[in-house]
Structure 1
């Protein structure tokens, strides 16, 4: 399976490092996040990557060239003119992904030991449109799932705002892990253009397509938050 790694973000929460560097090259125990995630996905047999870049994108390109792409097949989706967020970034990379039956998406600033092979197997076995890795952990925004683990809504924990596909029937709130398997047909269904979050599309598409949650208890750290760096360095040596 081919993987799209989102590495374009400005990483404002990791200042001052990101004043001069892309967040994907932020180091945990001396190893850049992007390197960790390429090698992590390679352990599951993934060798074909699309990496989107924007903020100091040239540094990511140079880093990959210096390391011979870690012996992987890597294509750069360069959003040099405008940062397009996750949904716009996916559309911008369409030509590299549209011929895939399914592909994996992962945020560059996520570190985890999630069993990616099990996620992919479940996605294909159930023929889901999208499979979202989620876990029961603290988050200000939660995705809401029914008893069949099908996405039915979204909740802002702080404000109480909800977006629902139907009346909330004691839906289970789970935090998104920044990793998802997606069917290639998504490019025929996305309505938005320009800069937008892919989650906005998912919350529209949940009304017509099967978007399921893949529940896990794996270690997972969003290193985009400075306070998480210490935790990441304890878990990922």
Structure 2
């Protein structure tokens, strides 16, 4: 199984830190955010990785190379400056990801998600069945209204009892059929269309999950990560 780590964002709210460094290379607990993901995926047996990049992407390539030093294999998906949004970035990398379901992780979060369980859920996705499996989390202060509803392991586009989409999920490649691989595209419309057909499963993660979107959150997560070791 493969995974793609999304690392192409500009990180505007993190400026000036991201003026000279891509956000996934910012350190928490003495390690870059993206390295926490790589190590967690490797521990779950997911060692074939794709990483997309745009803003200062050469610094990601310089820092991680082919992944050998971290016990994984990295294929790089370069995007134009400005990037292609989440779905567009995945569509752009689709040749690298292949025809089997894959795991997706936002590169600018810090979490202790169970990637072994996520890979297992990914393996159950089918072109004629569920197209996505999403990990949801309790709503953080910066997203009090949430995104989607989780009911009986199904993710629904409803209003009552919404949870927050973590940016961690698994997808069947056919979810991205028809997308221009060189055009920006958002993920949410694809997910909502699949939800209307009852084709999105999900799970609730109650452990650590933090969207490292501002310098203040970076400092807070750094303190947590140092405690976690």
TM-score by length of 1: 0.84
The answer to whether structure 1 residue 152 and structure 2 residue 141 are counterparts is no
Counterpart in 2 of 1:116? 115
Of 128, 133, 142, which residue of structure 2 is paired with 1:131?
133
| Aligned residues of 2:5 and 2:105 also touching (Cα < 8 A) | yes
Higher strand share: 1
Q: Does residue 102 of structure 2 align to residue 106 of structure 1?
A: no
Residue matched to 1:11: 11
Contact 1:132–1:181 (CA<8 Å) still a contact in 2? Answer: yes
Give the match for residue 210 of structure 2. Answer: 221
Query: Are residues 172 and 120 of structure 1, via their aligned partners in 2, closer, same or farther at CA, if it must alter by over 3 Å?
Result: farther
225 and 79 in structure 1: CA distance in 2 versus 1, 3 angstrom threshold: same
Q: Deviations 1:135-167 (Å, cap 9, x if unpaired)?
A: 1222245233263232321xxxxxxxxxx5xxx
- Distance in 1 between residues matched to 2:2 and 2:68, nearest whole Å: 18
Give the number of aligned pairs: 221
- Asked if the contact 2:88/2:180 (under 8 Å) is kept, the reply is no
Counting only pairs closer than 5 Å after superposition, residues 1-237 of structure 1 correspond to structure 2 as 1-65=1-65, 68=68, 70-100=70-100, 102-125=101-124, 128-138=130-140, 139-145=143-149, 147-153=151-157, 171-188=160-177, 194-237=183-226
CA apart distance, 1:203: 1.3
Q: Which residue pairs with 1:161 in the alignment?
A: none
Report the alpha carbon displacement of residue 29 of structure 1 after superposing the two structures with TM: 2.7
Distance 2:216 2:82 in 1: 29
